[in-house]
Structure 1
């Protein structure tokens, strides 16, 4: 009786094997999930590599060495220029002015005038004046100005500024334009050119140079004042080249 009563239970109860056989399977991953899992594994693999490359002492030392080398070359160049100023001040300032006038005229022709072809004669004359007139004249003028005005501080800087901008600059701009037009083979246009462009050039000169020259005379030692002025001179040379080469309008 006990065996008979137990038989239906054995027939109804599922077998362990059948339980395993009919265990529900996990839902298949979507394509996006698979891609996400793969990308996550790739990121996990790349993290150590990136950390190794970023934290590589050899790479860091190489980068630091490159920066230090560039800085050292820059300091050597500055030291060489300052030594040249001490040994050959006039020649160094003349060559520097020539380079800046050359660059200024080229920028003016290519960027402002947008000429189809460079006027090499114009560039040569403009550069020549930078070499033989601008650099040497500014050297002598700044040296004389420092001896003429011996006051220090703001009062001395203002005094030098007034002499530089209201006595020297008007004369120098007129001389420069006159020589430029003459050397370019147009001496008959000197007077019309001055009437048309001299005063507007002087106004542009004051707008650019008065703020800078005050700082230059106030903070910069005399022997470095031409060097400091060269940082502004490139922009001024572009303006001066444009003014000096504008076509004279017949009146």
Structure 2
């Protein structure tokens, strides 16, 4: 099947079930980010990848990341606007000042919880990593979101973000598992 045919199938599925499709793509890319982290940064071969860990990380994307992003971009579109340079800048500001800090905190809490950590350990890990992750976010995501909000139609915004997020998810997987890896 040619790329155009695959894209056409994707577009039809996205129009019929936007939340489901975007949940699947977010989960898939978060899982891929964790596998990439394990194989590139944690020196595991594919034989030694902890697929259970990757599935847990993917579930964060499936149940939280994809649906939340889809809903958020709809809210931005309704309340800030849908087109134009000024609208794109306003969306980036609202996204990065309101959404990103809370979303990143939620992702860090979910990652710690999925790793089976106690609430006290989750809190201490979030305190140790949150500002570093947020700062790194600000180096990358405002520029991605500016392109996303200015050039990309609403129905494809989560896809663009999740494609870039493959690299971001690799970083988050490494960051949220780094302490655990050092302890082993």
Aligned-partner Cα distance in 1 for 2:160–2:82? 21
For 1:201 and 1:79, the matched residues in 2 are separated by: 36
The alpha-carbon distance between structure 1 residues 120 and 152, as it changes in their structure 2 partners (threshold 3 A), is: closer
Q: Deviations over 1:69-114 (max 9, x none)?
A: xxx6110000111111100000000111111011100000010111
Q: Indicate how the Cα distance of structure 1 residues 151 and 86 shifts in structure 2: closer, same or farther if over 3 A, else same.
A: closer
1:115 corresponds, among 38, 44, 68, to 44
Matches within 5 A, 1:26-41: none
* 78-87 or 227-236, which deviates more: 227-236
Deviation by residue 1:152-193 (Cα, 9 ceiling, x = unmatched): 311100110011111101101111111111122102311111
Unmatched tracts of structure 2, length 5 or more: none
CA distance in 2, matches of 1:198, 1:177: 8
Stretch of structure 1 that moved more, 227-236 or 127-136: 227-236
Gapped runs of 5+ residues in structure 1?
1-71
Q: 1:222 aligns with which of 154, 158, 166?
A: 154
CA contact (8 A) 2:149 2:157 kept: yes
Q: How far apart, in 2, do the equivalents of 1:144 and 1:223 lie?
A: 13
Instruction: Compute the RMSD of aligned alpha carbons.
Output: 1.7
- Compute the TM-score of the two structures, normalised by the length of structure 1: 0.68
1:241 matched to 2:170: no
Aligned residues: 179
Q: Which residue of 2 aligns with 1:81?
A: 10
Q: CA deviation at 1:151?
A: 6.4
Equivalent residue number for residue 114 of structure 2 = 183
Deviates more, 1:186-195 or 1:84-93: 186-195
CA–CA distance in structure 2, aligned partners of residues 199 and 113 of structure 1 = 23
CA distance, structure 1, for counterparts of residue 51 and residue 159 of structure 2: 27
Partner SS for 2:109: helix
Larger Rg: 1
Structure-2-length-normalised TM-score:
0.91
Aligned to 1:149: 80
How far 1:244 moved relative to its partner? 1.2
The 5 A counterparts of 1:195-210 are: 195-210=127-142
